[in-house]
Each structure stands twice: as C-alpha cells, then as structure tokens.
Structure 1
Amino acid sequence: MDGSDVIRSHLPTLPATPGVYRMIGADGGILYVGKAKNLKRRVASYTRTEGLPNRTRRMVALTRSMEFVTTHTEAEALLLEANLIRTLRPPFNVLVKDDRSFSYIVLGQGHAFPRLMHHRGTARRYGEARRNDLFGPYASPALVGMTIAALQRAFLLRTCDDATFTSRTRPCLQHQIKRCSAPCVGRVTEEDYAAQMRGVRDVLNGRSAAVQAEFARHMMDCSDRLAYEDAARWRDRIRALTALQSRQDINLEGSLEDADVLAVHAEGGTACVQVFFVRGGRNQGTRAFFPRHDRDEDEAAILAAFTAQLYEDTPPPHRLLLSHDLPDRALLGEALTLAAGRRVEVEVPQRGPKRRIVEHALTNAREAHGRRMAERSAQAKLLAGVARLFGLPGIPARIEVYDNSHIQGAFPVGAMIVAGPEGFQRNAYRRFHIKDPAVAGDDYAMLREVLTRRFGRALREDPDRRNGLWPDLVLIDGGLGQLNVARTVLADLGIEDVDLAAIAKGPDRDAGRERFFLPGREPFQLAPNDPVLYFLQRLRDEAHKTAIDSHRARRTKAMEHTRIDGIPGIGPARKKALLHHFGSSTAVAAAGLKDLEAAPGISATVARRVYEHFHG
C-alpha cells in the first residue's frame, strides 16, 4: 500500500477524541508527530493529498504505518506532542535545534546551612527540584556564575558540597575573601544564616530594594555605634548587591515582573527565535534559537511549535509575550497552565511598553538571523574551498576529524570532532577510550581501533546511510602513515566512498607549514595566508584540544581513585575525613587500629573494617 492507503486503513478504528499520532517510515523511523482535537478527522485529512503542501504530500508518501495515543483533552495532546518531538526528533516536524541547556540558581533545602549552587539542565525533572528553590532560567552559565559570585559577596552563603562542609575543621578560602560566613566551623548561627537565605530569595524574586534598604540600616547603625569595620562590611555587601542590580536591570517602560518575550523572524528558508528571559523585573539573559523547519512553514507556525517544545522541560513564567499571533494561542495557554500548575497568560501585545519590548526582541531576531546567514555563507565558501582542494565530488556536509592523546601510553584516548555548514557540531563529538592495552602508545594501532569502532558501528546501525551521520570527508591529524592506516581500515570494512585526507604539522611543528596527504597524490602545502588553510588548522586544533581534554579527564578520574575506594561503608565523606587526617591513602593503609579510631567521623566499627581491609 502507498502512504494514503496506509493512513486510510486506520480510519475505521480511530476515535473522534483528542490524541497524538505518529507517522512511521519503512525503516521504522518516526517521520512526524502531530496532535489533534479529533483524531479521526485530523488523520482523514491526510488522505486527500491534492490539497496538501508538497512537504506534507512527501511525508504521506513515505508513511508505512501509524501509531496513536488518545488523551483526555487537546491541551494534554499538545504537551505530549511537544514531549515526543523533543525525544524522537522527527524530520518533518519543526525542531528546536539547540543542544544547550538552561542554567538555574538553586537554593538547597533539608540542611541546617543550605548551599547556593548552579544547576544546568532540565528543571522540571531535576531530581531535587521539589526539595530545593529553583530560580531561572538564565540564558548563559556565565551570567549565573556572576550572579552567584555577587550573591556570595552580599549574603555570604556557602557553595561547597555537603561532604566538604562536613569535613572542614577550619574556614576555607571563601571565608577569607569574604564570600562565606563559615557555617562549617560555627562562625554563624542557624538563625542568622536563615536570614541570609531569605535575603537571597527576596533578591532573586525581585525584592532587592527592600533588602538593600535593610543593609543600609545595618550600616548606619554600625556607624552610629562607631563600629566602622562592621559598617565597612555592610557597605561592601551593598556594593555587591548594587553591582548585581546594574547587570540585570532591563530598560522597560511599565512593569514586566515575570515573563518571557519570544519573537520570530524567518527569511530564506531559515528562522531565528529570540527569547528574552525576565524574572522579578530583571533581565536574565537572551538567547537566539534557530529551529529546523520546512521552507513552507510560516512564522506563526514556527513560533507555535517552538514555544510548545521550549517549555516541555522548562517551567514557563506567568506571562509570554509573542511577536506573532498563533492559531491555537488559547490552547497553548491552557496547555502551559496545565503543565505549570498555575495560570500562564499568552499575549500578543499590539501597543504600549509590552509591544516595544516585543519589537526590541524582533529586531534582535532579525539581526541574529542576519549574522547566522553571514556565518553560513562564509562557512559555505570555506567548505567549497575544501572540496576544490581535496577534489571532492561535492561540498562536504559533514567532516570528521580524528586525533589521539596519551602520555607514554597511559590513559590513551581517541577523539572525533564534526564540522559542517553550521560550524562545529559539538553534540556529534565522540571520545574513544582505547580498550586494547597492547596498542596503548602506538598511534597507528590506536587510530586503527578508533576508526574500526566508529565505522563498524555505522555499518551495523545505518548500513543504508539514511540518518545523515556518515562523513563526506575524514581528516586525520597525522601524515602518510596515519592516512594508510585509515585507508586499510575502510578497505577492510568494505567502505569505498568516504574521502580521506591527512594534515601533518610542518617542520618544527610550525603552524602555516602543514603538509597535506591524499591517496594517490604527492604531499602538498598551501600558502600561509590561505583561508582554507586557516579553516583546516581550526579543525585540526579542535580535534587536538578535544583529545587532550578527554585524556586529562580520564587521568584526573583515575588519580581520584585511591586505595580506600571499595571498602564497604566508606563513602565520600569518610574517605575525605581519612585522607584529611592521615594525608594519603598509603598512610591510612599503614595506620594502626587506635589511630584509625582517632580520626574524626570514624567509629570503632568502621575503623576495624578499614584496618581489616588492609591487614586481613
């Protein structure tokens, strides 16, 4: 059956209720996820292909089966649709193509002296969200870091983990530089610390004016009592709070306490959605998104799909201000209200201060879109230059670059980075821990293992090359020897249509004197000022940096493993207590039973367990 017949065969059993449907291709991949107020009526519309856009007709033609889930309401269907789109990433849906996560400020609970910390990732499913206070989202981790630093100076909260807090016997450096009140050693009472926590909550909720006025009263009181050092400390805290306010104030006529502003600009088959995050009347950063969509999608449809997916795992604010009206705006508000457990208003302001900030976001969307198009144009020229240089059949859409790293054979790793028309595709990077100990230190053997694992898996998982994850060019950091290894691996696997090249550092490893190796060609160099040479150097350097970072992370993790690890009953806190008391795991192993019992936090039972572990 063709796609229309497949869809038509499901109609007799479909209910006229809200739900979500999935269109599935011949290979089992999800082509499209959609929601409907009436499943039967919505799915039936796909059988009348004459009136459908070309994109939709193509999707129907590829459909070989369908799956359905009914829901109680259309709002529930919208939430489920957004969840499935983000999870399954079907090619015919508008996708929020942004792998970066949002950042949040977290105030811990369940501890006498809660910590102030930075969380990056999902908020709604964050494991401690129900026990902690979560503030955000913030558009960038850097802004969260600056905010936490300012809050530390203003309120002296701890940022250390609980294990470090428990093991401290004297104040740390944070206390010395006046960023922590040292609750770990009793320098502040629970009541005073709780007051500091309330101050942080007030500031993050937009009530910083009252907090600053209270700080000023304390400063004047200290000054009146001639306690000038205490007055100076309150002055420094006021300055920290003022600096925080100056970084986060947003110029806005009127009041906008808790809202996100979303504006979309589409042109030339691509779109940019600019989001302003405003919480407590303060700007918490902006971010430009570039969702993947079909060229035929209009701006309102792009914005509708984007908004539903954005808040699938991010708590929505009380109000959304949109640049375009949506066909299902009321439904979107109902769905977000259902997800948030409180009322969420979705507005399209037409005049006044709110419209002005929407216009500001729209201007930013146009400018970000223009910059993105300019970057893509420059990237396209460089990729075209690479195609000419290496004699490729077309402009490469995916370049994979490989490099290895080790120190005298220890902790060997391989790295693969990916670049294409959008620049570096960091979500596609791969790190390989070398499994065969016999090849550690042998660059050729390490490269052979990495390439065999990468392309062997590709042959198993995508032999027909449908998912777009096969490279058009493989670039090896090395010379003729590395190139020959890559040729042998691909030949052994029966892969004949992947182009290979190697880039070797010049004499004395000078940048600009690199030599290039291709199968069947003599090595050659490029002019030192050639833009294509700079581009290939960037690719090579990114692979080298990724390999070194992976090696360093593996080495650090191994160094953190001590002889104490693996002893039953010895967790991070007791491990740290033993190492602080004895200085090293070797000294712990050599300690007597009485010495172990004298360590802080180590009971007689635990001490005997540690002693017997080392002495049988």
Structure 2
Amino acid sequence: MNAETPAAPTDDRLAALIEHVKALPHLPGVYRYLDAGGAILYVGKALDLRKRVGSYFQKNDHSPRIRLMLAQVAKIETTVVRSEAEALVLENNLIKALSPRYNILFRDDKSYPYVMISGHASPRLAYYRGALDKRNQYFGPFPNGYVVKESLQLLQKVFKLRTCEDTVFANRSRPCLLHQIKRCSAPCVNLISADDYRRDVNNAALFLSGKANELLEELEANMEAASAAWDFERAALLRDQVQALAKVQERQFVSSNTSELDADIVACVVKDGMVCVNLAMVRGGRHVGDKNLFPSHADDYDAAEALSAFLAQHYLDRSVPAMVLCHPAPPDAEVIASLLSDQAGRVVRLNSNPNGERKVWLEMALKNAELAIALKLGQAATQAGRLAALVDALGLPDETQRIECFDISHTMGELTVASCVVFDRGDMQPKEYRRYNIEGITGGDDYAAMKQVLTRRYGKIAAGEGVVPDVILIDGGKGQLAQAEEVMAEVGLTQPVLIGVAKGETRKAGLEQLILATTHEVKHLKRDHPGLHLVQQIRDESHRFAITGHRARRAKARVASSLEDIDGVGPKRRQRLLARFGGLQGVKAASVDDLMLVDGINAALAEKIYAALRG
C-alpha cells in the first residue's frame, strides 16, 4: 500500500481526511492537524506532503501519542514551500507561535544575556537582553547572567569603561563614586581624552572577542614604550591592566588550545522516560557555562529527534556560532546546517564526532545532561511523596495532580495585583503562571479582588479555554474561600477541590490552617508533615509572584511622573536638578531640603517635585 492509497476509512471523519490527503501535492511544505474546535494539534514538515501526511493513515503501529492525536484530527491544513529548509523554518515558526500539544516544545522564558558596548561617542558598557541593535556591539550570548556580570566587573576594573545610563552621563558635573574607586575613567567630565577612551573600548572589545593573547602583547609593547619615554604614570596603568588580564586567563573556566573558538555544545540524553538537552557555550575559547533544558511533550521522542527539534527551535531567532558540537547526530543534519549557515551569512558546521578537547567538551555536556535527569527524577520523587501525603491527609481524589493557588497583593489598596501559580506534573510550572491587574473595586477589598480573579480565570476555563485543576488553594480564610465557592457555582465548575490556606493565630510558618470547602472543616497538619510542606511551597510561590507583579506595576505607575510633567519645572530648572543629583533617579531619592538647595527651587516647588516623583 502506498501513500496515495491509504488504509480504508473506519468512519466519515477518517474518510474525509483520506480524500483530502489524496489531493495533496508531491511538494515540500508544512502540514497542520486541527481538532474539531480549530485548535492546532500538531505541526510537521515534509519533503513530499502527500507521502508524509498519507503515512499517518496507512500504518497501524503508531505510538500511543500519535494514536491519541489522530483520534482528534478533524482537519488538515498545508502550506507549500520551495525547499525542505524553508519548510523547517516555517515549521518551527509555527511551533513557537502556536505551541501545539503534540509537538516537542523547547520553551525558554528569557532571551539569553549579552555584554553590550553601545555605539555612543563615549560608549557605555552594559548587561543586555533582548533584540539586537546594529548600532551597538554585542558579545555572547551567554548561558546565564552570572557570566555576564562577572565580565562587566572585570572590564570595569581593567578598562574603566562607563556603565551609567545616558541621562546620568549627560548631566554630570563632577565624577561619580565609580571614578573614585577606580572603576570608571570619567569620560562624562573629560578626565580622559576621547582617543584614550576609544582605545580602552577597543581593548575591551578585543578581550570579549577572545583575543586576550593579542591584547596582552599589545599592552606589554605599549607599556615598554611608555617606560622608555619616561611616561611612568601611563606605564604603571598599563602594567596593572596586564597583570589583571593575566590573572583572568589563569582562572578561566575551561581553557582552550584554540583561543578564538566560538562554539555551542549540545548534548541530548533520554533516560527513564525523561528528555534533557544540555547546552554549553564556548566564547573566545572560554567555556562560559551551560544550562539544562527539559522539553514539553517529549514522550516517544528519541534523543536524535529531540536534538533535531532543539537545534531548529533554539537558533530560529538567535545568533549562531561557527560550530555546533552535538550528540547524537540529528537525522536531518545537512538541512539544519544549511539553514543555520544561511541565517548566519557564513558557514556553520555541525560536528557529532569531534576529537581532542572538543570531544572532552561534548562528553562533559552528556554527563551534565545525565546528572540533570537524575536530579530532576529525585526532586520529582520528593514532590510525589509530598503530594501523596497531602492527598491522604485531606482525603483528596487519588488522581490529584494539578494544583492552582491564588494570592492578592497591594499597598494600602493601591494597584491591586492577583497571582495564579500552577503545580503540575510533579513540579511548579512557571510558564503557566498568570498575573491579573484588578480594576473596578474598592481599594483594599481582598474579597472582591479574589472574586474578580477567580471569575476571570475560571469563566474562560469553564468555556473550554484551559485546563481544569484538581485542587484550588486560596491564600486566605473563610471569607476568601466563600468567594471561591460562589464563583465556582456561578461558572458551573464542580470538579476542583477548594481549600483555604489561613495563617494560624501567631502567623508563624507551620501553624497554617487548611479549610475545606462546603463543610469548612479546619485541618491542622503537623509542622513536619510533607503535605503541609507542599502547600507552603505553592502558597509562598504565589505570594512571591503576586508581590513582584504589584511592585512592578507600582514602579511603572510612579515612574510615569517625571520632571517634564511638573508645573513650574522648565528646561533650566530641570537641567539644574539633573546636574545636581546626577539624573532622574538621584532627584527621586532627594529630600525636600535637598531639592531646595538647587537654584530656583523654593519650598513650595520642592514639595511639589517631591510629591510628584514619590507618588
């Protein structure tokens, strides 16, 4: 049986799908499976659309995951492209945008950090995440922020580049504290010439590019020249730079014989039903760290398939190094290498069989992935024990897995924020957390805030737009719990078990009261009870998530009040204020008496400025 004549249909739905398959072209493209509600179930690519899509309907030995998916398919959509490489790009764009439930998903909630040297006349050194701007120089990416911050501290010590914001830099009248502790050469007040500062910037860029040996040789030559010219002050400065850089080279994380190599090391391990990809980065010959990624929907994928999915998704909108060391070899290595080369504008090589130090790096990545799986399995076992203890103690349904918890945060009723955090699949699920800005209630009315957030969330879930949890934890006592009961009755959800988490009389950890809905029976678990520890973990995470959201909202609202919005503060007074306090943050931190010391600012205006900036 070939792809043009799939298996005989078993129902009208399947018959319609097979007729659709027969009409597909023998061309490369992307196919999408949709359910009856129009939700995307799966996105795939094909060199031949008719053969690939038809293969799903002619086989009987599919994995349980594929059989479950095919049982839900109601419609097939396709897009024809010119090549397999274009199909790969489109496939992964759609996977990232739509998050189909049957595709393996490598989701990373944050962009990777860079060291940035800005394109100003007096360039600024900064930590950066986000889209790249061609006007600036970027070095990285790095696997975590620690490496970037360490590099910034080093560059400040050695090259003394400015790190201040542009508003502060433009309004300085005297050097800041960083200059006094020898971390900045103070280009803001011209204590270093433009040529000398530019030379320091270029030297920092050389170091970040991995050309430390070349930089050391240049600095040593300049030091000897300065000494010969009897410029001992400059010679001493260069000597200190040489010594600092030499020490840095001695304590590199992992040294490389190829000093200028940029490479990523990607190792995928499948063990005990879990998939882990370890991504390590080498920049300028330095192994600068790694991170472990656990994909969603990875059941039934082998290591090679998972690695292939990672390479396509990870590099889709990121810079690509000249070499990617990977294990195992991805099945479509040539297509991926061609795609990455086109994206980077230069040759990118995939190497699955390296030797020498590169082999050591790859072996280290494989070992780290195995260790990460072992650690995660150990944590999952601990969490599973806690969940089982909670289920037993409270008489919850045996199949309880998903727990959602809500908390409310505000300051004196101002800018209320509600949080929802999710515990599922044996761990907290940060990508499923949600925050809700609460509007239209009396400030400080926690009952009304709780009712609003629960209505907004579970009204949608009752309409089929989400997952119904097994348990809902409400941070609060019987009043908040009553609001939750009322909302569940209104939206028609009877499945979730509602539990209020109230602090004990002394509000100490370990004395929490668990209040069950309907009966309002109060349960007291012992302080060392593993079920109570799970409740505390989820409740504390909800509290943290609510507070950070409220603080961010409050800060954003307060920052909106700037000097330009204050009556009586014109351009000249604004310039005097910024120059006096070194920028807007300094003005915000100033007291009324400090503000009155500025020429043209009387007591009334100082009070007005203070009130406007402090909110």
CA distance in structure 1 between the aligned counterparts of 2:193 and 2:54, rounded to whole angstroms? 68
1:378 has 2:382 as partner: yes
- The 1:575/1:10 distance shift into structure 2, 3 A limit, reads farther
CA distance in structure 2 between the aligned counterparts of 1:6 and 1:578, rounded to whole angstroms? 75
Quick check: 2:408–2:446 contact (8 Å CA) kept in 1? yes
Q: Which amino acid aligns with 1:106?
A: M
1:502 has 2:506 as partner: no
CA distance in structure 2 between the aligned counterparts of 1:198 and 1:256, rounded to whole angstroms? 17
Determine which of 143, 149, 154 is the counterpart of 1:150. Answer: 154
CA RMSD of aligned residues (A): 3.1
Quick check: 1:49–1:57 contact (8 Å CA) kept in 2? no
Unaligned 5+ runs, structure 1: 597-616
1:446 has 2:480 as partner: no
Quick check: 1:7–1:44 contact (8 Å CA) kept in 2? no
Greater CA drift, 69-78 or 230-239 = 230-239
TM-score by length of 1: 0.86
Q: Which amino acid aligns with 2:482?
A: N
For residue 197 of structure 1, give the secondary structure of its aligned residue in structure 2: helix
- The 1:548/1:296 distance shift into structure 2, 3 A limit, reads closer
Q: Which amino acid aligns with 1:265?
A: V
The residue aligned with 1:27 is 37
Q: Which amino acid aligns with 1:173?
A: L
Determine which of 49, 58, 61 is the counterpart of 2:68. Answer: 58
CA distance in structure 1 between the aligned counterparts of 2:135 and 2:565, rounded to whole angstroms? 30
1:68 has 2:78 as partner: yes
CA distance in structure 1 between the aligned counterparts of 2:138 and 2:580, rounded to whole angstroms? 39
Determine which of 264, 282, 291 is the counterpart of 2:268. Answer: 264
CA distance in structure 2 between the aligned counterparts of 1:185 and 1:6, rounded to whole angstroms? 76
Alpha-carbon distance, 1:3 to partner = 5.8
Quick check: 2:563–2:574 contact (8 Å CA) kept in 1? no
Quick check: 1:7–1:43 contact (8 Å CA) kept in 2? no
1:72-221 to 2 correspondences below 5 Å:
72-109=82-119, 111-121=120-130, 126-128=131-133, 130-219=134-223
Q: State the aligned residue count.
A: 579
Alpha-carbon distance, 1:43 to partner = 2.1
Alpha-carbon distance, 1:118 to partner = 1.8
Determine which of 470, 476, 479 is the counterpart of 1:478. Answer: 476
Quick check: 1:263–1:275 contact (8 Å CA) kept in 2? yes
For residue 325 of structure 1, give the secondary structure of its aligned residue in structure 2: coil
Quick check: 1:137–1:284 contact (8 Å CA) kept in 2? no
Q: Which amino acid aligns with 1:59?
A: M
CA distance in structure 1 between the aligned counterparts of 2:144 and 2:490, rounded to whole angstroms? 46
Unaligned 5+ runs, structure 2: 1-10, 582-586, 602-615
CA distance in structure 1 between the aligned counterparts of 2:241 and 2:15, rounded to whole angstroms? 71
1:336 has 2:340 as partner: yes
CA distance in structure 2 between the aligned counterparts of 1:561 and 1:99, rounded to whole angstroms? 27
Q: Which amino acid aligns with 2:326?
A: L
Quick check: 1:323–1:359 contact (8 Å CA) kept in 2? no
CA distance in structure 2 between the aligned counterparts of 1:447 and 1:412, rounded to whole angstroms? 10
CA distance in structure 2 between the aligned counterparts of 1:298 and 1:505, rounded to whole angstroms? 47
The residue aligned with 2:26 is 16
1:404 has 2:408 as partner: yes
Determine which of 49, 70, 74 is the counterpart of 1:39. Answer: 49
The residue aligned with 2:546 is 547
The residue aligned with 1:610 is none
For residue 141 of structure 2, give the secondary structure of its aligned residue in structure 1: strand
**Deviation per CA, 1:197-235, whole angstroms, max 9, x where unpaired?**
211221111101222333344555666778776555445
Quick check: 2:422–2:433 contact (8 Å CA) kept in 1? yes
Quick check: 1:380–1:421 contact (8 Å CA) kept in 2? no
Q: Which amino acid aligns with 1:464?
A: G
Among the aligned pairs, what percent are the same residue?
38
- The 1:11/1:455 distance shift into structure 2, 3 A limit, reads closer
- The 1:201/1:350 distance shift into structure 2, 3 A limit, reads closer
- The 1:506/1:232 distance shift into structure 2, 3 A limit, reads farther
Greater CA drift, 493-502 or 5-14 = 5-14
For residue 15 of structure 2, give the secondary structure of its aligned residue in structure 1: helix
CA distance in structure 1 between the aligned counterparts of 2:575 and 2:149, rounded to whole angstroms? 29
Quick check: 1:272–1:288 contact (8 Å CA) kept in 2? yes
CA distance in structure 2 between the aligned counterparts of 1:388 and 1:235, rounded to whole angstroms? 68
TM-score by length of 2: 0.86
Quick check: 2:26–2:49 contact (8 Å CA) kept in 1? yes
Alpha-carbon distance, 1:246 to partner = 4.5
CA distance in structure 2 between the aligned counterparts of 1:576 and 1:431, rounded to whole angstroms? 37
- The 1:398/1:98 distance shift into structure 2, 3 A limit, reads farther
Quick check: 2:502–2:514 contact (8 Å CA) kept in 1? yes
Alpha-carbon distance, 1:574 to partner = 9.2
The residue aligned with 1:522 is 521
Alpha-carbon distance, 1:154 to partner = 1.5
The residue aligned with 2:429 is 425
Q: Which amino acid aligns with 1:71?
A: V
Alpha-carbon distance, 1:295 to partner = 3.1
CA distance in structure 1 between the aligned counterparts of 2:172 and 2:580, rounded to whole angstroms? 15
Quick check: 2:402–2:470 contact (8 Å CA) kept in 1? yes
Alpha-carbon distance, 1:443 to partner = 2.2
Quick check: 1:384–1:395 contact (8 Å CA) kept in 2? no
1:564-579 to 2 correspondences below 5 Å:
564-565=563-564, 577=575, 579=577
For residue 270 of structure 2, give the secondary structure of its aligned residue in structure 1: strand
CA distance in structure 2 between the aligned counterparts of 1:266 and 1:8, rounded to whole angstroms? 34
